[in-house]
Amino acid sequence: MEVFEAVKFRRSIRKYLDKEVVAEKLIRILESGRLAPSSKNRQEWRFVVVTDNKLKRQLRDAAGGQSFVEGAPIVIAACATGTDYIMSCGQAAYVIDVSIALTQMNLQAVEEGLGCCWIGSFDEDRVKDILGIPTDIRVVELMTLGYPKEQPAARSRLSMEEITFVNHWGDAPDQKSDQANSGHH
């Protein structure tokens, strides 16, 4: 599958088959996260892969009772070992870096025939307690992973014109000049 096809096919999956994820697929997914770029190559992400049913049940409760958390074959707690580095643009690097790693993992999961769902609604302290994560580590996201039992319809997206400006905020793309600049007539 081409990357763009994986991007178009990707959905947030909340229903999973009761089927164990093949180890080789999980390794490739985790490797996709490991190979992600990070600010100053800090690589501060760490991933706790949860397959134990009792722990997944506890994570469901820590995630506001979202039942699909327990129903997924795997839940990954995506963590950051350091939160002190602020990029020169003023943004905390750890949130962005972990998000890049998870995005690559998510797209690899689609390539592997698996589905994922990012979960940002959870009690971080409870997740740390359940998984034995040290207090100085941040849990940035949880992500479920498994073979999809569903393929939801694509959700609506804003148009390209609504999200893209050229050179200045508010300047809409001009297709005629874009075509001239790209050599197409």
Looking at this protein, which amino acid is placed at residue 108?
Answer: Q
Domains of the chain: 3-151 (3.40.109.10)
Q: Assess whether pLDDT exceeds 80 at residue 156.
A: yes
Looking up tokens 């100053």 gives 40
Q: HSE, CB side, 13 Å, CA atoms: give it for residue 1.
A: 16
| Span 41-52, pLDDT tens digits | 999 999 999 999
The structure tokens listed for 182 are 């790209």
Contact of 50 with 60, CB cutoff 8 Å: no
pTM: 0.88
| Span 93-129, pLDDT tens digits | 999 999 999 999 999 999 999 999 999 999 999 999 9
Residues 6 or more apart from 95 whose CB is under 8 A from it? 80, 140
The pLDDT assigned to 153 comes to: 79
The pLDDT assigned to 7 comes to: 77
H/E stretch holding 30 reads helix 23-34
Q: Assess whether pLDDT exceeds 90 at residue 182.
A: no
Backbone angles phi, psi at 117, to 5 degrees: -145, 125
The structure tokens listed for 107 are 């797209």
